[in-house]
Homo-oligomer: A and B are copies of this chain.
């Protein structure tokens, strides 16, 4: 674990760069907005910790009314339960014996559920839970059009649900119906089409479950790009958004629904970098691909009007000023809005919470690297 890049009370200028910072006011407004949406729409909100891997932020989400937290890995779930989160849903298939044993141990301390899309997964989870004398919740993942994990909707999903219902020490809890690929479709109409297709898959599966006398306490899914669509469909019961707490360049660029207030969520997450080199035409800051995930393109600059990041290498970002604007100076601090927030956060051991230009919180990214 790296040393903390700043002390409580420090100004931005006193933080060692590169550092991951979050504007607390914006973060708290984002959390409050999603919580308010849940109340207005009657949807349960179960935010996803894969975005922040940070128990302090999960605790804020629970305090705002979240019914529990989603994890994507057993390692994330362990960190969340350790930090006092009492209801964790692992929204991923878990097959390895060692991981199921860890999950079963957690189920002795908190309400824990996982996702299945195979008979092998059901059998292995049941065995681990039985050996530890605990109950694990289990949801059937259906492929709602994403083309990744999940069984086919309808009868195949019902058959797997029945296996869960009959398996010792497993409790059938419902359906996982997440359309990840839909989240970043730039056009709102395309996202709408994708979630309509997903809704058909959910409807068909709920019908099949009903015929078998099975009911889905949870129908989970949705992310920051589509959650209003799942809520409007009237089939989902829990929304699992993650990125809304931070936002990133990719999410900020998708088209909003017509008539929707913009910006729905604010950028709260930035990588603070320092200028270490400059010439007449460019400045170079000390944050690169090891501080900012680059697969979704270049970061944006915050508050440096018109300046642009034109290149990102392993440890550097190259910045050019807007035509006619003054060049950055050596030692200047810049704030970069990441292209993609989840893998960016996973590069850092600490998030510094900033309010009024000073460090107010120093949060460990306690599940950084917890990918297993």
Contacts and interface: CB of A to CB of B under 8 A. Distances in A.
A148 B277 contact: yes
Nearest to A141: B277
A277 B152 CA distance: 13
Contact of A315 (B143, B286, B369, B371): B371
Interface string A330-372: 1100000000101100111100000000000000000001111
* Residue of A274, A278, A340, A343 with most chain B CB atoms under a 10 A cut-off: A343
Interface string A257-288: 00000000000000000101111001010111
A147 interface: yes
Contact of A149 (B93, B284, B287): B284
A291 interface: yes
Contacts of A347: 346-347, 369, 371
Interface string A53-86: 0000000000000000000110100000000000
Interface stretch (A13-21, A199-207, A300-308): A13-21
Specify how many copies of this chain sit in the oligomer. 2
A65 B282 CA distance: 38
Given A18-B372, A149-B316, A290 B99 contact: no
Contact of A5 (B95, B290, B313, B372): B372
A118 B148 contact: no
Interface string A107-132: 00000000001101100000000000
A93 B284 CA distance: 10
Contacts of A50: 314-315
Contacts of A72: 314-315
Secondary structure type dominating chain A contacts: loop
14 contacts: A2-B369, A17-B96, A18-B372, A92-B276, A92-B286, A95-B274, A96-B274, A121-B330, A143-B279, A148-B277, A148-B313, A149-B276, A289-B295, A289-B340
A106 interface: no
B93 A18 contact: no
A253 to B, nearest CB: 17
A257 B85 CA distance: 58
A139 to B, nearest CB: 14
A343 B314 contact: yes
A86 B291 CA distance: 28
Interface string A158-184: 000000000000000000000010000
